[in-house]
Amino acid sequence: MKIVSKHPLLVGTVFLTFASAGLYGCKDFLTRNETPQGTLDATTLANQAGVEGSLIAAYRALDCTSVIQANWGCAASNWVWGNVAGGDTYKGSDITDQPPINDIEGYHWGTPDAETYLNEKWRITFEGIVRVNSAIRLLKQVQKSNPTAISAAAAKGIQGEAEFLRAHYHFEAWRMWGNIPYYREDDTDFRKANLTSAAVVTEIVKDLDAAIADLATTPRNGEKGRVTSWTAKAYKGRVLMYAGQFAAAIPVLQDVMNNGPYKLETSFDHVWTGFKAFYNGTETIFAYQASANDGEPNGNNANYGERLNFPYSGSHFGCCGFNQPTQELVNFFKTDAATGLPLAITDPANYNASNTNLDWSQNTVPVDPRLDWTVGRDSVPYKDWGMYSIKGGWVRDIGNGGPYGPKKNAHEKASGAESTVGWQNTQLNSVHIHLFRYADLLLMLAEADIEAGSMAEALTLVNQVRTRAAVTAQGCGEAGAAAKYASCTGHTELAVPITSPTITWATYRIANYPAFPDQAYARNAVRAERRIELAMEGQRLFDLRRWGQAYAASTINAFVTTEKTRRNWLTGAETFGQRHMLFPIPQTQIDLSKVGGTPKLTQNAGW
Peptide bond connecting 369 to the previous residue in cis, omega within 30 degrees of 0: no
Q: Is the pLDDT of residue 34 over 60?
A: no
| Per-residue confidence (pLDDT) for residue 24, from 0 to 100 | 25
Q: Is the pLDDT of residue 13 over 50?
A: no
- What whole-number distance in Å separates Cα of residue 230 and Cα of residue 402? 41
The pLDDT confidence band at residue 26, using thresholds 50, 70 and 90, is: very low
The pLDDT confidence band at residue 16, using thresholds 50, 70 and 90, is: very low
pLDDT, averaged across the chain:
92
| Per-residue confidence (pLDDT) for residue 480, from 0 to 100 | 97
Q: Is the pLDDT of residue 90 over 90?
A: yes
Task: Give me the domains of the chain, ranges plus CATH numbers.
Answer: 13-215+582-599 (1.25.40.390), 290-309+409-431 (no CATH), 315-400+471-509 (no CATH)
- What whole-number distance in Å separates Cα of residue 141 and Cα of residue 156? 14
Q: Is the pLDDT of residue 104 over 50?
A: yes
- What whole-number distance in Å separates Cα of residue 584 and Cα of residue 443? 29
Nearest CA to 319 out of 423, 431, 429 is that of: 423
Nearest CA to 390 out of 479, 399, 308 is that of: 399
| Per-residue confidence (pLDDT) for residue 446, from 0 to 100 | 98
Higher pLDDT, 278 or 549: 278
Q: Is the pLDDT of residue 118 over 60?
A: yes
Mean pLDDT across 456-471? 98
Mean pLDDT across 249-258? 98
| Per-residue confidence (pLDDT) for residue 42, from 0 to 100 | 65
The pLDDT confidence band at residue 76, using thresholds 50, 70 and 90, is: very high
In this structure, of 5-19, 146-160, 249-263, 323-337, the range with the lowest mean pLDDT score is 5-19
Q: Is the pLDDT of residue 31 over 80?
A: no
Nearest CA to 103 out of 121, 93, 116 is that of: 116
Model pLDDT for residues 556-575, shown as the tens digit of each residue: 999 999 999 999 889 999 99
Model pLDDT for residues 220-243, shown as the tens digit of each residue: 999 999 999 999 999 999 999 999
Model pLDDT for residues 300-332, shown as the tens digit of each residue: 999 999 999 999 999 999 999 999 999 999 999
Sequence letter at residue 81 = W
| Per-residue confidence (pLDDT) for residue 379, from 0 to 100 | 98
- Beta-strand runs (E) in 55-146: 89-92
| Per-residue confidence (pLDDT) for residue 509, from 0 to 100 | 98
| Per-residue confidence (pLDDT) for residue 36, from 0 to 100 | 37
Longest dimension (CA), the chain: 79
Higher pLDDT, 14 or 111: 111
| Per-residue confidence (pLDDT) for residue 25, from 0 to 100 | 28
Model pLDDT for residues 172-202, shown as the tens digit of each residue: 999 999 999 999 999 999 999 999 999 999 9
Nearest CA to 404 out of 412, 416, 394 is that of: 394
| Per-residue confidence (pLDDT) for residue 554, from 0 to 100 | 73
The pLDDT confidence band at residue 2, using thresholds 50, 70 and 90, is: very low
| Per-residue confidence (pLDDT) for residue 35, from 0 to 100 | 42
Neighbours of 532 (CB within 10 A): 21
Neighbours of 39 (CB within 10 A): 10
Stated as kind and residue range, the H or E segment containing 130 is helix 112-145
Alpha-carbon radius of gyration of the chain: 24
Model pLDDT for residues 396-423, shown as the tens digit of each residue: 999 999 999 999 999 999 999 999 999 9
Sequence letter at residue 315 = S
CB under 8 Å to 558, separation ≥6 — which residues?
none
